[in-house]
Amino acid sequence: MKAFVVEKYGDQAGMRAAERPDPRVGADDVLVKIHAAGVNPLDLRIRNGDFKAFMPYRLPLVLGNDLAGTVVRVGPSVTRFAVGDEVYARPDKDRIGTFAELIAVHQDDLAPKPATLTMAEAASLPLVALTAWQALVERARVQPGQKVLIHAGAGGLGSIAVQLAKTLGAHVATTVSTTKVALAKGLGADVVVDYRTQDFEEVLDGYDVVLDSLGGENLAKSLRVLKPGGTVVSVAGPPDPAFARELGANPILRLAMTALSFKTRRNARRHGVTYSFLFMKADGDQLRELTPLIDAGKIHPVIDRVFPFEETLQAMKYLEKGRAKAGKVVVAMP
């Protein structure tokens, strides 16, 4: 099969198109012919080697973290899918590889594709939709009437998180650049802060939950806009001890993650709030819960640009250079 592989960690030079063996299909696996795949900042970070300390992939590695496609074979123990089914998924972190013609995915990580979406639209959703769900529903347990701040509300994750928070009944604020204010309002945000002309810390106060996708000083400020007892969930901040335990990290790595997040956790305690690091996980059942919201139009994908599959390297460069104006970048098969 044709695929795009990382041969050595680093920049774009370490990645190329290649022929790879077709995936092996285990007893609980579903072989999917990929029609489209989302391109995510996570792909860039994996390519660069940012996670090799706790996700030691064996190179060469087929990259790619979400997909939509058609089932072409099922393992003997598969009960949830049949050949011909249209599906979408974020594969398990140890089984990524959606920048390819085929992928084998465990049946528990798959879900039927939303009927109202094209393949490209569906492929844009799994990673960001699951991240939003796990941050807002699982981790923060957002309730109707609560005040939720979503950073980068016009981005791939932010655009979905704003919509999900609204379906949960929250009062939603978001931060965007000047040209994306109208988009954020159209997604349902109640308060839109233009970060080019305003400091969100001076505008917002008393929030219950913040979803941070930027880290650094943005994360530090986010702690200060929460009310006592509030929670900031970050996908960009330093990993914390809870994540180290979840990962089953060795003692040295646990100590390293504890040290990395010490300052942030200490600042959170000083403000009477909670800091939580999230590295999202594959979950087909959660996608099944999201699908009715998608088909009902309560959550809709925001796509910046669709590249042909053979231009996957250009799509990654486009994302890396910050050229995407809003939403997700997708690659699609002919």
Comma-separated ranges of CATH 3.90.180.10 domains in the chain: 2-125+301-332
pLDDT band at 54 (very low <50, low <70, confident <90, very high): confident
Average pLDDT estimate for 63-78 = 98
pLDDT band at 254 (very low <50, low <70, confident <90, very high): confident
Higher pLDDT, 53 or 153: 153
Residue 66, token pair as written in the block: 């979400």
Cis preceding linkage at 251, omega within 30: no
Long-range contacts of 58-62 (CB under 8 A, 24+ apart): 59/6, 59/7, 59/8, 59/9, 60/5, 60/6, 60/7, 60/18, 61/5, 61/6, 61/96, 61/97, 62/3, 62/4, 62/5, 62/20, 62/96, 62/97, 62/99, 62/100
Give the per-residue pLDDT at 121: 98
Least confident span in 85-94, 185-194, 316-325: 316-325
> What's 127-277's CATH class?
alpha beta
pLDDT band at 241 (very low <50, low <70, confident <90, very high): confident
Give the per-residue pLDDT at 149: 98
Comma-separated ranges of CATH 3.40.50.720 domains in the chain: 127-277
pLDDT at 39 over 90: yes
Spatial CB neighbours of 26, under 8 Å, sequence gap ≥ 6:
75, 104, 106
Q: What is the CATH number of domain 2-125+301-332?
A: 3.90.180.10
pTM over 0.85: yes
Higher pLDDT, 247 or 127: 127
Higher pLDDT, 241 or 26: 26
Average pLDDT of the chain is 96
Residue pair 24/104 in contact (Cβ under 8 Å)? The answer is yes
pLDDT band at 132 (very low <50, low <70, confident <90, very high): very high
pLDDT at 53 over 90: no
Average pLDDT estimate for 36-48 = 96
Residue 35, token pair as written in the block: 């029609």
